[in-house]
Amino acid sequence: MIAILKQSASDEAVSHIVSWIEKKGLKTDVSRGENETIIGLVGDTTKIDPFLLESMDVVERVQRVSEPFKRANRKFHPEDSVIDCGHGVKIGGDQFQVIAGPCSVEGENLIRIARRVKAAGATMLRGGAYKPRTSPYAYQGMGPAGLDLLCEASAELDMPIVTEIMDPRDVQVFLDKKIDVMQIGARNAQNFPLLKEVGKTKTPILLKRGMSGTIDELLMAAEYIMSEGNDNVILCERGIRTFETRTRNTFDLNAVPVLHHLSHLPVVADPSHATGYTRYVEPMALAATACGANGLEIEVHDDPSHAWSDGAQALTPDQFDDTMRRIRAIREVVCQEPVQE
Ligand code: PEP
Ligand code: MN
């Protein structure tokens, strides 16, 4: 972190700020130029509130020179992380996976949908047993019985399951049932007690970006999980809320290469929640594949008009078959060796 002081800063003001910083246990490096004075802060800058420093009379502005996320940062871990999701399925680096299944676990149809998505080439099964709904009167999910249905499907098809956890008090249930991947949904992207609690496990976490979350906030949420000891974090771009109303959210595909640049963690993209409409899911799944996502999460339902949640964005199993064929074609193009200039 550096503090750039106003041109008018007197020697006395500079030494006052220097001693304020040093009293907080940091070292300073003062460089006096003709037009400005810059104080470099060396040490644990989390002890300094940059806004407080910037509010001081003689301070022009404060700039961070290193990102506040460390464990998720590619600078400290240059190679891509590859995360083992169980059942022989790994994600990250050149390992690309498709997570598919219904929005909610509803009952017996889960296994039918699961068989179809597996046959189409999905490698992980999704389904929500605990549903974060805007209305408390909307369907809230089957709870533990839904987890059991997922576990049965996982055992029959030898596929890892991905399912959302909303409450830190449920972590033990998810561990007891050996859930392969716990999803943290967009609405819980900054639920810090939940992030910390799942951070105490070793279970892979699919961490979704908050609907108004910046890329840095997503990385700091990952940092919460990793700082508790769980490095198995998969980031997920699922669209953000903007002024656009023609789609459910705005799919920020910029986030895919930006996250790859900043972090070593795998990045999954979710074109279902990002667009909200079946007709847009395939084109945006292909776009996300083309821009380098390590995986996709896609909602599939065998009877979308009767789905208990998110029917409007579900692909039918037949549509998913076609989409998977095109995803494979895009992957073939993307995975070719770069053209030598
Ligand atoms: C979901 O995956 O069904 C879900 C609720 O997603 P999000 O948290 O991205 O809205
Ligand atoms: Mn959904």
Map out the domains of the chain as residue ranges: 2-63, 83-335
* Mean pLDDT of the region 17-33: 90
Alpha carbons 330 and 291: distance in angstroms, whole number: 10
**CA 186–ligand 1 middle distance (angstroms):** 6
**CA 223–ligand 2 middle distance (angstroms):** 25
Please state the atom number of ligand 1 nearest to the C-alpha of residue 209.
9
Ligand closest in space to the Cα of 187? 1
At residue 240, the pLDDT reads 98
CA angle 216, 220, 223 (to 5 degrees): 140
Residue among 103, 163, 235 whose CB has most ligand 1 atoms within 8 A, to mutate:
103
Helix H or strand E segment including 269 = strand 267-269
Q: Does the CB atom of residue 209 touch ligand 1 within 6 A?
A: no
At residue 49, the pLDDT reads 93
**CA 165–ligand 1 middle distance (angstroms):** 11
In this structure, whether the domain defined by 2-63 belongs to CATH 3.30.70.1140 is answered with yes
What's the pLDDT tens digit per position in 238-282?
999 999 999 999 999 999 999 999 999 999 999 999 999 999 999
Please state the atom number of ligand 1 nearest to the C-alpha of residue 309.
3
**CA 47–ligand 1 middle distance (angstroms):** 35
* Mean pLDDT of the region 66-73: 88
What's the pLDDT tens digit per position in 134-184?
999 998 999 999 999 999 999 999 999 999 999 999 999 999 999 999 999
At residue 340, the pLDDT reads 61
Exposed (0-12), middle (13-18) or buried (19+): which is 327, by Cβ within 10 Å?
buried
Res. 339: pLDDT tops 70 = no
Ligand closest in space to the Cα of 308? 2
Q: What percent of the chain has pLDDT over 90?
A: 86
Res. 129: pLDDT tops 70 = yes
For 232, list phi and psi in degrees, rounded to 5: -90, 70
Strand blocks (E) in 102-255:
124-126, 161-164, 181-184, 205-208, 233-237
* Mean pLDDT of the region 113-132: 98
Q: Does the CB atom of residue 218 touch ligand 1 within 6 A?
A: no
Ligand closest in space to the Cα of 126? 1
Res. 283: pLDDT tops 80 = yes
Count, residues in the chain: 341
Please state the atom number of ligand 1 nearest to the C-alpha of residue 236.
9
* The CATH number fitting domain 83-335, selected from 3.30.110.40, 3.40.50.300, 3.20.20.70, 3.40.109.10: 3.20.20.70
Identify the residue whose C-alpha is closest to ligand 1 atom 9. 186
Q: Does the CB atom of residue 185 touch ligand 1 within 6 A?
A: yes
Q: Does the CB atom of residue 124 touch ligand 1 within 6 A?
A: no
Per-residue pLDDT band for 42 (boundaries 50, 70, 90) equals: confident
Identify the residue whose C-alpha is closest to ligand 1 atom 6. 185
* Mean pLDDT of the region 9-31: 91
At residue 338, the pLDDT reads 65
What's the pLDDT tens digit per position in 288-309?
999 999 999 999 999 999 999 9
Strand blocks (E) in 37-123:
37-42, 59-63, 83-84, 90-91, 97-101
CA dihedral 81, 198, 309, 214 (to 10 degrees): -60
**CA 22–ligand 1 middle distance (angstroms):** 45
* Mean pLDDT of the region 189-193: 98
Q: Does the CB atom of residue 103 touch ligand 1 within 6 A?
A: yes
Token readout for 123 is: 């490698």
Nearest to 234 by CA among 122, 67, 86, 103: 86
Per-residue pLDDT band for 40 (boundaries 50, 70, 90) equals: confident
Distance of CA 281 to the CA centre of its chain: 19
CA dihedral 191, 193, 199, 204 (to 10 degrees): -40
Res. 341: pLDDT tops 60 = no
At residue 44, the pLDDT reads 85
Residue among 181, 183, 240 whose CB has most ligand 1 atoms within 8 A, to mutate:
183
What's the pLDDT tens digit per position in 201-241?
999 999 999 999 999 999 999 999 999 999 999 999 999 99
Average pLDDT, the chain: 95
